[in-house]
Amino acid sequence: MSAAERLREIRTGFQPAFWVANFTELFERLAYYGPQAVLAIYLHEHLGLTTEQSTWLIGYYGLIVWFMPIIGGALADRFGFRNTLAGAFFILAIGNFLLGSLSASWMAPVREALPLFALMHLLMLVPAMGPAVVKPVVVGTTARAANENVRTLGYSIYYTVVNIGAAIGPIVASFVRTTVGVESVFIVSAVATLAMAVVTLLFYREPDRGGEPRVASVAQAVRNLLLVLKDAKFVTFLVIFSGFWVVFWQQYISLPLYIRTYVDPNANIDRLLAVEATTVILCTFLVNYLTRKLPAFPLIIAGVLISSLSWLFLTLGSGTPFIVAALILLALGEVTQAPRYYEYISRLAPPGQQGLFMGYAFLPIGIGYFIAGPVAGRLLNYYGEVVRQPERMWYVIAAAGVLTSALLLAYHRFVTRSVAPAPGGASP
């Protein structure tokens, strides 16, 4: 196929809904990773919560964000992608506004009614529900609004957009935090997501379902949700893959506190965290091109292993170059596996259930995040305060990732399910 023919395939292979959904995803990720970059410090230093309380809340937040897509995906299959996406952005805007308004005078009765730790559980629940619904809709839109011959490219575009938002978010957060205040980071995120709700209502058109029927009722959506849980092989895969996210999320949970406490208290953590996302942006299409003819599952395993070994750089030294090297290798592992992971899951979805299955695709992220929070707190406390050798915690993190890779390999060899061949004859 000539370059001109391939470009023609790309121009005609995506419905308009694909581009609108990914445009809104850019701002959703900006509004997620901006607050995420300052959340640990906001909870610990600004609100006065302990390290373990802060990491617990972050893990709790992540669990809700990444568990709820199961429900959000089921609702999207029932009510349509457009309505579900717009509603999610409205919820996200309200949640970020409440978090940013915590110190406002009109919030005083709320602050006085509950202990701070309990109050934060309630306040963080609202913004967590937003991305929980946005994610399966955007990925489900890619499954429906991209032709078969460009679908892998579609997931690469989606993942690049995600990481552009992830790169810009911490930079914007750093500027807003230093010039206006940390609470304003959440207000800016609220404004951005409210704007995306309006964009969705004005420009998003429901993608062509290709004759697939819409889920008849909420009850049917719930039944479909439960039916997926009966697939032991699929659930086993999701549980194993959660180990990758325990490893991955350390960059947002333990790494900021590790740097601030043991490396450099004056380090610009916001900008350091942008290294990983920037690497993803620069390398996604190159890695996709180099691995386009390789089967998906071995690439998933390889990506998990590469990301896991990245943390060993922090055992070699504590300076900024070692941190940057770790984040770059973490990103290279991520771009190796992530687009193929979503491709693999999309091919498992029965007709009319792309939203549901894509919702389940995010479940490992939530499980991993929930585990990563308490794990980070325990490791930081034990190796930092008890053993006084904080760098040794990264051996534990790397080992968890290597174990995950080994379990995925065993799954692939002994229990993996058959799925439709990928374009070009490569099996997922």
pLDDT band at 421 (very low <50, low <70, confident <90, very high): very low
What is the spatial distance between Cα 52 and Cα 388, in angstroms, rounded to a whole number?
Answer: 17
Structure tokens, 97: 């506004």
pLDDT band at 3 (very low <50, low <70, confident <90, very high): low
Average confidence (pLDDT) over 29-45: 82
Using one digit for the tens of pLDDT, what is the confidence trace for 183-220? 889 999 999 999 999 999 999 998 876 555 555 555 66
pLDDT band at 419 (very low <50, low <70, confident <90, very high): very low
Residue-averaged pLDDT of the chain: 82
CATH assignment of 8-203+218-416, among 3.40.50.300, 3.40.50.720, 3.40.630.10, 1.20.1250.20: 1.20.1250.20
Using one digit for the tens of pLDDT, what is the confidence trace for 179-191? 888 888 999 999 9
- DSSP labels for 309-341? HHGGGGGT--SHHHHHHHHHHHHHHHHHHHHHH
Does the pLDDT of residue 254 top 50, yes or no? Answer: yes
CB-based burial label for 122 (10 Å; 0-12, 13-18, 19+): exposed
Residue ranges per structural domain of the chain: 8-203+218-416
pLDDT band at 116 (very low <50, low <70, confident <90, very high): confident
pLDDT at residue 213, as a whole number: 55
Quick one: how many helices (H) and strands (E) in the chain? 18, 0
| Placement of tokens 């299955």 in the chain | 357
pLDDT band at 423 (very low <50, low <70, confident <90, very high): very low
Question: What are the distances in angstroms from CA 427 to CA 1, 295, 297, 419?
Answer: 21, 5, 8, 8
Using one digit for the tens of pLDDT, what is the confidence trace for 346-379? 777 766 666 677 778 878 887 887 788 788 888 8
Alpha helices by DSSP H, 362-392: 363-379
